[in-house]
Amino acid sequence: MAHKLSQKVTRYCLPAVLGLSLTQASFGDAVKKSVDVQTTTVAQNKTSQKNIDGMADKTSRLLDEYRLVVSETESLRTYNDQLEKLIKSQNEEVGSIQKQIDSIEVTNKEVVPLMIKMIDGLEQFVELDVPFLMEERKNRIQTLREMMDRADVSTSEKYRRVLEAYQVENEYGRSIEAYSATVDVDGEKKTVDFLRIGRVVLIYQTLDGKTAMIWNKTNRKWEELGSQYASSIKQGLKIAKKQSAPDLLTLPVPAPEAN
């Protein structure tokens, strides 16, 4: 009886053990699958996070580039606005300069002939004037004529030089001067002292004081002065050279010409 019972117990226990073994195996597989799924999920999450981080960095770089482009665009817009104003101002300046050039061309057409006439008149005046410093004065006029043909001298400078020559001639009439020059005395070249008092008196005296001549504007020739004027001429030369104080001089003065 006992033996039979033992066999029954053994028969019933084997399926239970087999069922328990199968259950443990299935649970292990499930755990393994779960672990594998978890591992895969973690790996995928890491990959996704890396992708997200990469996209975030790329987005940040793109945002920085966008901000830089916006800043440069604003700077270019400001520069272009300023450049546009500058170009407008330059165009207005060009227009103004062109008007001035046109005006200068008109002025040159009017002024240049006037200056040539002024030089001609100055030359004629010197020829008819009291003959002092003739070489210097004629050279000044010749220089003016040569200047008129030069392209490197502006019209304004030419006009200034012509007026300057007129001013020099004008000053001669209000000054006293002494200078030395060579003249023909009795067929012989001699160095003499000239005394000029404005344009009223022009006298020269030989260095030895023996001969003195005065220019006669009416007859346009030199006339000899008597010895009674020798001391006055000598004194006049000293005054002109600033070697003596101004004083009264006794010299012949031509009578005023009738109008």
- Predicted confidence at residue 49, as pLDDT, reads 77
Q: Are residues 186 and 134 part of one domain?
A: no
Q: Are residues 118 and 165 part of one domain?
A: yes
Among candidates 198, 186, 181, which has minimal Cα distance to 236? 198
Q: Which two tokens stand for residue 110?
A: 């009017």
Q: Are residues 152 and 105 part of one domain?
A: yes
Of 155, 172, 189, which one is at a domain's C-terminal end? 172
Which residues constitute the domain of residue 155? 96-172
Q: Are residues 167 and 100 part of one domain?
A: yes
Of 119, 153, 172, which one is at a domain's C-terminal end? 172
- What is the three-class DSSP state of 1? coil
User: CA-CA distance, 142 to 154, in Å (whole number)?
Assistant: 18
Residue 62 lies in a domain: no
- Predicted confidence at residue 12, as pLDDT, reads 46
User: CA-CA distance, 137 to 118, in Å (whole number)?
Assistant: 15
Q: Are residues 237 and 196 part of one domain?
A: yes
Q: Are residues 229 and 185 part of one domain?
A: yes
Domain total in the chain: 2
User: CA-CA distance, 166 to 172, in Å (whole number)?
Assistant: 10
CA distance to 130, 179, 181, 219, 238, per residue, from 244 (Å): 25, 16, 22, 33, 5
Residue 33 lies in a domain: no
Residue 108 lies in a domain: yes
Residue 186 lies in a domain: yes
Using CA of residue 63, residue 68, residue 71, residue 77, what is the dihedral sign?
Answer: negative
Q: What is the dihedral of CA 222, 227, 231, 232, to 10 degrees?
A: -40
Among candidates 227, 226, 244, 222, which has minimal Cα distance to 235? 244
Q: Which value, in Å, is the radius of gyration of the alpha carbons in the chain? A: 60
* Residue 131 C-alpha from the chain's centroid: 46
- Predicted confidence at residue 39, as pLDDT, reads 76
- Predicted confidence at residue 46, as pLDDT, reads 74
Q: pLDDT (tens digit, 0 to 9) for every residue of the chain, 259 residues total? A: 444 444 444 444 445 454 555 555 566 666 667 767 677 777 777 777 777 877 777 888 888 877 877 777 777 778 777 767 867 786 777 667 666 655 666 667 788 899 999 999 999 999 999 999 999 999 999 999 999 999 999 888 999 999 999 999 999 999 999 999 999 877 788 899 999 999 999 999 999 888 999 999 888 999 999 989 999 999 999 999 999 898 888 888 766 555 5
Element spanning 197, H or E = strand 188-197
- Predicted confidence at residue 27, as pLDDT, reads 61
Q: Are residues 109 and 168 part of one domain?
A: yes
Residue 259 lies in a domain: no
Q: Are residues 166 and 100 part of one domain?
A: yes
Q: Are residues 200 and 186 part of one domain?
A: yes
Of 172, 199, 215, which one is at a domain's C-terminal end? 172
Q: Are residues 207 and 141 part of one domain?
A: no
- Predicted confidence at residue 124, as pLDDT, reads 96
Residue 185 lies in a domain: yes
Residue 58 lies in a domain: no
Q: Are residues 198 and 237 part of one domain?
A: yes
Q: Are residues 164 and 106 part of one domain?
A: yes
Using CA of residue 66, residue 72, residue 78, residue 84, what is the dihedral sign?
Answer: negative
